[in-house]
Amino acid sequence: MNRVGLAFHPDCLLHVGPAGLAECPERIESILTSLKKHGLYEQCFILTGKDIPIATKEELLLIHEEALVTKVLTAHKDITLLSDKEYFDIEQDTFYCKHSPRAGIYSLLSLHKLQLKSIVSDWGNDRINGTSNKKKLDSGFAVVRPPGHHCKYDQPMGYCLFNNIVVAVNTIKRRYKHVNKFQRFVVIDWFSFCCALCSTNKTLCYMPHAHDSWRLFAPMKGRASRQWESGYVLGRS
């Protein structure tokens, strides 16, 4: 029987901004409620709380500019000085509150933990810390927020503070740098925003997407003429 992991950290609910945004705590609460209602939650291998370690600044810097990392981790300290609200706007859909750094980090680490438990098999002991790290999962689902795929190398945007999936992939690549099979990943991103960060390394970003002139899909992302300089990004319209 396949084992499916489900990662969720309660601190992801603490990232709270302006009312009316689709990306809100209720979004992941409704996902968890639906999974429990249909009996799927209990069938998963649950990763939460202390199962999910904190990320380090060094791991964030594998992908992001130091100015972005410092800004996200410390900007909440300015909220009381610069705003009479409990959050601070970055752009139309992106904000900080005092709990945003923890929410962003646990969003990233939930993905990282799922990846580790899914890919690390019985090839041997963990070469970093010498402990046994047998494969426990066949697949996984991270219920996290803020999301990450809009975030650029140097700019939070589109609800996203860190590009969590690309940071998680590169953390594993570095940790297991002597294991060839952990050096290639496929990232499937419907809206294709991970491309800029995937295109600079040997991570393959495959993007099934569509171009429909702003009606549903991300604007200008699905044109047949859309090309990337790197050979590591594939697109399909």
Residues 157 and 192 in one domain: no
The pLDDT > 90 percentage for the chain reads: 22
Residues 150 and 191 in one domain: no
Comparing 64-68, 70-74, 125-129, 138-142, which segment has the lowest mean pLDDT? 125-129
User: Where is the domain boundary, 182, 197, 212?
Assistant: 182
List residues bridging with 234 in a β-sheet: 206
Residues in contact with 182: Cβ distance below 8 Å, sequence separation at least 6, in sequence order: 119, 172, 173, 176
Residues 13 and 70 in one domain: yes
Residues 98 and 146 in one domain: yes
Of residues 141 and 226, which shows the higher confidence score?
141
pLDDT at 126: 41
pLDDT at 53: 76
Kindly give the interhelix angle for 100-119 and 66-74, rounded to the nearest 10 degrees: 120
pTM of the entire structure?
0.80
Overall average pLDDT of the 109-117 stretch: 81
Query: What is the tens place of the pLDDT at every residue in 203-232?
Result: 666 665 655 555 555 555 555 555 554 545
The pLDDT > 70 percentage for the chain reads: 69
Residues 189 and 80 in one domain: no
Residues 145 and 228 in one domain: no
Query: What is the tens place of the pLDDT at every residue in 22-59?
Result: 899 999 999 999 999 999 999 999 988 888 877 788 98
pLDDT at 31: 96
pLDDT at 169: 87
Q: How many CB atoms lie within 10 A of CB 138?
A: 13
User: Where is the domain boundary, 155, 182, 209?
Assistant: 182
The parent domain of residue 230 ranges over: 184-237
pLDDT at 128: 36
Q: What is the CATH number of the domain that holds 19?
A: 3.40.800.20
Residues 126 and 11 in one domain: yes
Q: How far is CA 42 from the centre of its chain?
A: 24
Residues 96 and 163 in one domain: yes
Mean pLDDT score of the chain: 78
User: Residue 110, class by beta-carbon neighbours within 10 Å (0-12 exposed, 13-18 middle, 19+ buried)?
Assistant: buried
pLDDT at 130: 43
Split into its structural domains, the chain has a count of 2
User: Where is the domain boundary, 182, 206, 225?
Assistant: 182
Residues 53 and 167 in one domain: yes
Comparing 18-22, 49-53, 142-146, which segment has the lowest mean pLDDT? 49-53
Residues in contact with 26: Cβ distance below 8 Å, sequence separation at least 6, in sequence order: none
Q: How many CB atoms lie within 10 A of CB 5?
A: 22
Highest mean pLDDT: which of 15-24, 37-46, 143-152?
Answer: 37-46
Tokens of 102: 């923890």
Residues 168 and 194 in one domain: no
Residues 126 and 214 in one domain: no
Overall average pLDDT of the 147-154 stretch: 88
Residues 84 and 165 in one domain: yes
